Amino acid sequence: MKDALVVFNYNSGRKQAIFHKKILHKFLLKRCNKFKFINIDEFNDSIIDDYDTIFAVGGDGTINQVAKSIAGSDKTLAIIPSGTANLLAAKLGIPANLKKCLKIIDKNYIKQIDMLKINDIPCFLRFGLGYDSDIICKTPQSLKNDFGYFAYVIAGIIFALRLKPKTYEITYDNNTRRITATCIIVAKAPNMYKNIVSVGKKSELDDGYFDIFILKTKNPIAFFYEFLRILLNIKSNNSRARYMKVKTLFMKNYWTVCHIDGEKIRLKDDIYINLVNQSLNVYCKTV
């Protein structure tokens, strides 16, 4: 780390990022030739040219915006989690405590992680349809401000009581099938609720595969039973759910509303998902 750009989202989470600036300033003063602090609204691709390390201070939306800009380059992402979820940070072993986070960055462990592309849209966490999309896209911001990450737990319970099945035609690694599902999750980082729940099996950010989780049941009781199995790390294919690891996925699309890394989007075209191996350099707890 020689020259660092620090990108802040002061509105993320419960505005935790505001309190990090002074400590970060002291940290960088001892380690960098030069550094600069900017707000996320000022961030663009051209501003990163003079820096080898880009700090992203905020939630997953901020981290993803920065990550997309530096993916495929020799620049390194340093995550300072201060948002509601911070799922990528959790998967990398980066804690929310700032001092512990900076100790990890100081050890200089850097991992090259894979990136998903959904119709050429970069994705580092997950792409969700159905139930998963409802939780991400329909949880009110006011609820997140009041309850933090627990807001997603509340929304998850509510939407589980009104699961709506849809029929999808999917092709993965040259296998085609029609499925009826209430939720489909395609993930490079399949952890949810921090690291408490994962819908992937032995998933790594740099393993060259991505996970597909298909929830088939529309019965709330069966859903909560499957959720309990996930909590206990019992993940086997059954009449309620299916788990797969693949390298490519194609889905016929009929104006699908979904989320990509937590951002609501309506995809007009058929959906093609592939993997870009070792696309992003990022600080992590261990290599």
Tens of pLDDT, residues 144-187:
777 777 788 888 889 999 999 999 999 998 899 999 999 999 99
Q: Are residues 201 and 178 in the same domain?
A: yes
What is the model's pLDDT at position 21? Answer: 84
Choose one of 62, 80, 108: the last residue of a domain: 108
DSSP secondary structure string for all residues of the chain: --EEEEEE-TTSTTTGGGGGHHHHHHHHHTT-SEEEEEEGGG--GGGGTT-SEEEEEESHHHHHHHHHHHTTSS-EEEEEE-SS--HHHHHTT--SSHHHHHHHHHTT-EEEEEEEEETTEEESSEEEEEHHHHHHHHS-HHHHHHHTTHHHHHHHHHHHTT---EEEEEEETTEEEEEEESEEEEESS-EETTTTEESSSS--TTSS-EEEEEE----HHHHHHHHHHHHTT-----SSEEEEEESEEEE--SSEEEEETTEEEEE-SPEEEEEEEEEEEEE-S--
Q: What is the pLDDT of residues 70-113, one digit of tens each?
A: 999 999 999 999 877 789 999 999 998 999 999 999 999 999 99
Residue 14 in this model has a pLDDT that exceeds 60: no
**Number of structural domains in the chain:** 2
Whether 249 is covered by a domain: the verdict is yes
Whether 100 is covered by a domain: the verdict is yes
Q: Are residues 138 and 270 in the same domain?
A: yes
Whether 247 is covered by a domain: the verdict is yes
The gap from C-alpha 170 to its chain's centroid, in whole angstroms, comes to 22
Q: Are residues 170 and 236 in the same domain?
A: yes
What is the model's pLDDT at position 56? Answer: 95
Whether 165 is covered by a domain: the verdict is yes
What is the model's pLDDT at position 287? Answer: 62
pLDDT band at 27; cut points 50, 70, 90: very high
Q: Are residues 21 and 132 in the same domain?
A: no
Q: Are residues 254 and 149 in the same domain?
A: yes
Q: Are residues 186 and 214 in the same domain?
A: yes
Q: Are residues 152 and 224 in the same domain?
A: yes
pLDDT band at 12; cut points 50, 70, 90: low
Closest to 189 measured CA to CA, from 181, 200, 178, 180: 200
What is the model's pLDDT at position 16? Answer: 63
Provide mean pLDDT across the span 107-132.
Answer: 94
Q: Are residues 75 and 212 in the same domain?
A: no
Whether 115 is covered by a domain: the verdict is no
Higher-confidence residue of 19 and 280: namely: 280
Rg of the Cα atoms in the chain: 19
Share of the chain above pLDDT 70, in %: 97
Share of the chain above pLDDT 90, in %: 67
Say how many C-beta atoms besides its own lie within 10 A of residue 47's C-beta: 15
pLDDT band at 45; cut points 50, 70, 90: confident
Choose one of 108, 142, 172: the last residue of a domain: 108
Residue 122 in this model has a pLDDT that exceeds 80: yes
State the residue range of the domain holding 226.
121-277
For the chain, give the mean pLDDT: 90
- Which tokens sit at 114? 């894979």
The gap from C-alpha 140 to its chain's centroid, in whole angstroms, comes to 19
What is the model's pLDDT at position 13? Answer: 53
Whether 113 is covered by a domain: the verdict is no
Provide mean pLDDT across the span 262-271.
Answer: 89
Residue 245 in this model has a pLDDT that exceeds 70: yes
Whether 190 is covered by a domain: the verdict is yes
CATH number of the domain that 185 lies in? 2.60.200.40
Q: Are residues 97 and 160 in the same domain?
A: no
Q: Are strands 110-118 and 197-198 parallel, antiparallel or unpaired?
A: unpaired
| Cβ neighbours of residue 193 closer than 8 Å, sequence gap 6 or more | 149, 152, 153
Q: Are residues 48 and 155 in the same domain?
A: no
Provide mean pLDDT across the span 255-272.
Answer: 88
Q: Are strands 191-192 and 197-198 parallel, antiparallel or unpaired?
A: antiparallel
Label residues 159-197 b or e (16+ Cβ within 10 Å = b): bbeebeeeebebebeeeeeeeebbbbbbbbbbbbbeeee
CA–CA separation, 230 vs 161, rounded Å? Answer: 18
What is the model's pLDDT at position 28? Answer: 93
CATH number of the domain that 56 lies in? 3.40.50.10330
Whether 114 is covered by a domain: the verdict is no
Surface-to-core class of residue 49, CB atoms within 10 Å of its CB (0-12 exposed, 13-18 middle, 19+ buried): exposed
Choose one of 74, 108, 142: the last residue of a domain: 108
0.95 exceeded by the pTM?
no
pLDDT band at 235; cut points 50, 70, 90: very high
Q: Are residues 104 and 125 in the same domain?
A: no
Q: Are residues 184 and 254 in the same domain?
A: yes
